[in-house]
Structure 1
Amino acid sequence: MTSARSVWRFADWALTVDTSGSGPIYEQECMSCGDNSGAADGYEGPDVWCLRHAGRTGHTGFRCVVTTFFRATLAERRP
């Protein structure tokens, strides 16, 4: 009968912002009716959408969703 043997190795990982692709994605959502600005690469478009939506509807509450991308990498171990 052979027995199984396990080897455990621990490593340090680092989480950094992934700059290889696009930057953050911004989207605003009306808290009254659920309508949204659509996704954009900058915050200016969604902010303007909020102001126009408020002017048309009288809705004043909005939620901003920002999606940022990260990458996990093995951290170099110092001797």
Structure 2
Amino acid sequence: MRRSLPLWNEAIQGRPDWDAIFDGYAATTDYPGCCFWRELLGHYPQAKVILTVRDAEGWFESVMRRFLLLRDENRFWVLPGKP
């Protein structure tokens, strides 16, 4: 993560180095790659892309069923929940 976080921050600022970001990787799932699917497909035109879209309420309910969020003062923990 120490290497990839600055690279993803550069991508967010509009200066992506996709080859550096994906050096040593063959795929991406979920965030943050899903935010750049058009750009990634442009850079890697032979890539296979599976993009799914869900309504926000259904997604939130699913996340809340999967994870239990605990709050203590200004700290948050995400603990595995029941599938």
TM-score by length of 2: 0.25
Structure 1 or 2: more helix by fraction: 2
Structure with more relative contact order (C-alpha pairs < 8 Å, separation 6 or more): 1
Question: Which structure would you say has the larger Rg?
Answer: 1
